[in-house]
């Protein structure tokens, strides 16, 4: 399953060690001027930093568009793009290792793959394609006054500060990211099996290392009474609270959509670990500095991209016109 969306559809290809990654975006409405510099800025947000905790893989992530635009304006035909992988350096020491908490074992069982050269689609390298589609979706949604914001949860920030002070830190850490979508019109979402919150969850949980998703108060709601939780409305239909996170009965209610995404620690470590190889023999192995210590901050534009794809998809399903001229 290499596609996401129903009207605005991203289909992508390629993996971490392939010559190219890329994709096709179908259903993009025509007549929108796209700023390619803004796409480059989104790609730069996802790019590795110079910090010691970031991967040392150096990819330029220059997007080459092959169709879908005329003088920077969307034509309505499929947008085809590709990104060249320029710094491919497979780790030969890990080629035969069943990397714990990774795709090695499950890909072996599902596809019969016998080494890690065949699991490139499971790499977070693929998320670059999502950012391309999301950057285009964001620019179209700006005509609807819809915007996106993400930030690292305070507890994750505190943990990152702790490990930043450790020069030889060779482990990885998990992360929690807070997201919001502003100015979403009421009425987006298709009950019963295509609720807006369900599709957002689908999109976020498809991101590498994602392990949890919450809308509004999320799990905190399990410790509240109904009288404390309910979003009471005023006589002008405005809400006094937003515990539902902007979505009720699977449909947007016009309030800000708030959500949280939880990520596990990245499974490839720089420290030594023990596991088995594809033949079942015990092995001791370690990664290298081509893996991040934590998914943040690089995952922030990926989260926003998936949110933008979902929202634009529902905008197109509902045939809502933008609030200003294209």
The 10s digit of each residue's pLDDT in 161-204 is 998 888 788 899 999 999 999 999 999 999 999 999 999 999 99
Domains and CATH numbers, the chain: 3-318 (3.60.150.10)
pLDDT of 45 over the 80 cut: yes
Encode pLDDT of 265-317 as tens digits: 999 888 899 999 999 999 999 887 778 899 999 999 999 999 999 999 999 99
Encode pLDDT of 20-32 as tens digits: 999 999 999 999 9
Encode pLDDT of 132-158 as tens digits: 999 999 999 999 999 999 999 999 999
The partner residues of 94 in beta bridges, in order of sequence, read none
- Output the pTM of the full model: 0.95
In total, the chain counts a number of residues equal to 326
Residue 326 pLDDT: 43
Whole-angstrom distance, CA of residue 210 vs CA of residue 306: 13
Residue 50 pLDDT: 61
| Residue pair 125/85 in contact by the 8 Å Cβ criterion | yes
| Residue pair 317/190 in contact by the 8 Å Cβ criterion | yes
| Residue pair 97/50 in contact by the 8 Å Cβ criterion | no
Phi/psi at 175 (nearest 5 deg)? Answer: -160, 155
- Candidates 200, 197, 151; CA nearest to 176 is 151
State percent of the chain over pLDDT 90: 80
- Per DSSP, the three-state class of 22 is strand
For 211-228, give the secondary structure using H, E and C: EEEEECCHHHHHHCCHHH
């Amino acid at each position: 399953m290499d596609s996401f969306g129903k009207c605005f559809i991203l289909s992508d290809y390629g993996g971490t060690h392939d010559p190219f990654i890329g994709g096709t975006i179908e259903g993009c409405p025509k007549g929108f001027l796209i700023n390619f510099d803004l796409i480059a800025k989104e790609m730069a947000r996802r790019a590795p930093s110079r910090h010691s905790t970031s991967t040392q893989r150096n990819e330029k992530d220059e997007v080459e568009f092959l169709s879908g635009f005329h003088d920077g304006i969307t034509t309505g035909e499929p947008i085809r793009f590709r990104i060249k992988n320029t710094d491919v350096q497979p780790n030969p020491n890990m080629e035969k290792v069943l990397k714990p908490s990774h795709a090695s074992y499950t890909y072996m069982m599902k596809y019969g793959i016998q080494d890690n050269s065949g699991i490139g689609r499971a790499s977070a390298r693929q998320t670059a394609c999502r950012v391309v589609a999301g950057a285009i979706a964001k620019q179209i949604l700006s005509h609807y006054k819809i915007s996106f914001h993400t930030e690292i949860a305070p507890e994750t920030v505190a943990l990152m500060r702790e490990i930043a002070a450790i020069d030889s830190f060779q482990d990885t850490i998990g992360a929690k990211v807070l997201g919001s979508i502003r100015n979403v019109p009421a009425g987006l979402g298709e009950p019963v099996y295509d609720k807006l919150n369900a599709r957002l969850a689908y999109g976020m949980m498809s991101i590498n290392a994602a392990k949890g998703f919450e809308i509004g108060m999320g799990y905190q709601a399990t410790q509240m009474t109904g009288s404390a939780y309910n979003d009471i409305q005023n006589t002008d239909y405005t809400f006094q609270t937003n515990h539902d996170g902007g979505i009720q009965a699977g449909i947007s209610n016009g309030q800000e959509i708030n959500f949280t995404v939880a990520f596990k620690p990245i499974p490839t470590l720089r420290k030594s670990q023990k596991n088995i190889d594809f033949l079942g023999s015990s092995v001791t192995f370690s990664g290298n500095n081509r893996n991040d210590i934590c998914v943040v901050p690089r995952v922030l534009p990926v989260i926003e991209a998936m949110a933008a794809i979902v929202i634009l998809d529902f905008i197109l399903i509902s045939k809502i016109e933008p609030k200003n001229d294209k």
